[in-house]
Amino acid sequence: MIFKRISKLLSSSDRKITDNCCQSSDSITFGLIKTEPIPTNDISGEMAYLSSLHCPCKEPFTFHRLCSFKMNNDKGEVIIDCYELLCRKGTHHYFLYFDMYHPQTSKKVPNNLTFGSPEGRGWNNFLPDFDTIKFDLILSHILKADRYKKDIWLLGDSNKMLAHSNEMLLARDYMDKNDINNAIQHLDMALLIDHKWEQLWIYKKRALIHLGKIDEIRSWCDKAKIVFPNTWKSICKDNDI
Ligand SMILES: [Zn+2]
């Protein structure tokens, strides 16, 4: 069942949106800021769009959904999705915004990007360890993450909460013992169940500081700015880096 759902998600990337490729948008900030989201038709439209997108060196991307939030625009209240993208070579990193409540998926591309064959890989959920996953391995990470989320979900909401706090406690225990690698594993599990807890983001940043992973700390803070637009400073105090 899980595999069916995943393969359905992934196969949606086969849908061709590359005909008449590629109109670049009139606006250089198209898709790059939340007030100019990319119109798509449903989640399958987002998946098809993201899978076909290529970076300036013509490589496909890996991607995951960082957040969704409500926003008011001229149509009233809309829900915006934000995705993080990293190209296969690991050199091009983007955050893109989508509005999936449109009858058709846009054929316009953000500045400097193009459409190509639908080789991109990702899903419409959060992957806590996104930064460290290689292009060829992302599908197995997604299957594992989906399996874990699904198992917890099947146990009911209260067990989801319980699993969440359990993972967090285990992570804290390992942090106290200075076993940072194990701490991160449990933090990632907690983040997978529910990544909208600031405290988890603070713990993970501390763990990354322990490991001296400067690039990952920076990237974690870039994400925090998007997920917590009003309070990210509590997660990313500059003097910590
Ligand atoms: Zn690239």
The CATH number given to whatever domain includes residue 226 is 1.25.40.10
pLDDT tens per residue across span 113-155: 999 999 999 999 999 999 999 999 999 999 999 999 999 989 8
121 and 171 in a single domain? The answer is: no
**Ligand 1 mean position to 56 CA, how many Å?**
6
123 and 161 in a single domain? The answer is: no
d(CA 187, CA 170): 8
42 and 87 in a single domain? The answer is: yes
**Ligand 1 mean position to 230 CA, how many Å?**
30
**Ligand 1 mean position to 170 CA, how many Å?**
37
Q: Is residue 149 part of a domain?
A: no
**Ligand 1 mean position to 156 CA, how many Å?**
41
**Ligand 1 mean position to 215 CA, how many Å?**
17
123 and 169 in a single domain? The answer is: no
**Ligand 1 mean position to 222 CA, how many Å?**
18
* Enclosing domain of residue 83: 2-129
Residues 6 or more apart whose CB falls under 8 angstroms from that of 19 comprise 107
**Ligand 1 mean position to 117 CA, how many Å?**
15
Averaged pLDDT for residues 32-56: 96
99 and 163 in a single domain? The answer is: no
**Ligand 1 mean position to 88 CA, how many Å?**
6
CA-derived radius of gyration, the chain: 18
Domain end point (choices 129, 144, 172): 129
Averaged pLDDT for residues 35-56: 96
Is 35 within 8 Å of 96 (Cβ atoms)?
Answer: no
Domain end point (choices 88, 113, 129): 129
71 and 159 in a single domain? The answer is: no
Nearest CA-CA partner of 87 in 96, 78, 79: 96
Q: Is residue 142 part of a domain?
A: no
Q: Is residue 200 part of a domain?
A: yes
Over 60: is that where the pLDDT of 112 sits? yes
Q: Is residue 138 part of a domain?
A: no
pLDDT tens per residue across span 151-194: 998 988 888 999 999 999 999 999 999 999 999 999 999 999 99
38 and 96 in a single domain? The answer is: yes
**Ligand 1 mean position to 58 CA, how many Å?**
7
pLDDT tens per residue across span 89-110: 999 999 999 999 999 999 999 9
Q: Is residue 23 part of a domain?
A: yes
d(CA 7, CA 197): 30
**Ligand 1 mean position to 84 CA, how many Å?**
14
Q: Is residue 141 part of a domain?
A: no
Averaged pLDDT for residues 41-62: 97
The DSSP string of the chain is -HHHHHHHHHHGGGS---TT--EEPSSTTTTTSTTSPEE-BHHHHHHHHHHHEE-TTS-BEEEEEEEEEEEEETTEEEEEEEEEEEETTS--EEEEEEE-BSSS---EE-TT-EE-SS--EE-SS--TTGGG--GGGHHHHHHHHHHHHHHHHHT-HHHHHHHHHHHHHHHHHHHHTT-HHHHHHHHHHHHHH----HHHHHHHHHHHHHTT-HHHHHHHHHHHHHHSTTTGGGT--GGG-
pLDDT confidence bin for 74, thresholds 50/70/90 = confident
pLDDT averaged over the chain? 89
23 and 83 in a single domain? The answer is: yes
Number of domains in the chain: 2
Q: Distances in Å between the alpha carbon of 146 and those of 9, 153, 206, 224? A: 12, 10, 26, 22
Q: Is residue 83 part of a domain?
A: yes
**Ligand 1 mean position to 228 CA, how many Å?**
27
125 and 211 in a single domain? The answer is: no
160 and 125 in a single domain? The answer is: no
6 and 121 in a single domain? The answer is: yes
- Find the range with the poorest average confidence among 10-19, 41-50, 77-86, 191-200: 10-19
pLDDT confidence bin for 28, thresholds 50/70/90 = very high
Averaged pLDDT for residues 6-31: 60
Averaged pLDDT for residues 10-20: 45
d(CA 76, CA 16): 31
Q: Is residue 50 part of a domain?
A: yes
**Ligand 1 mean position to 62 CA, how many Å?**
11
111 and 161 in a single domain? The answer is: no
Over 80: is that where the pLDDT of 19 sits? no
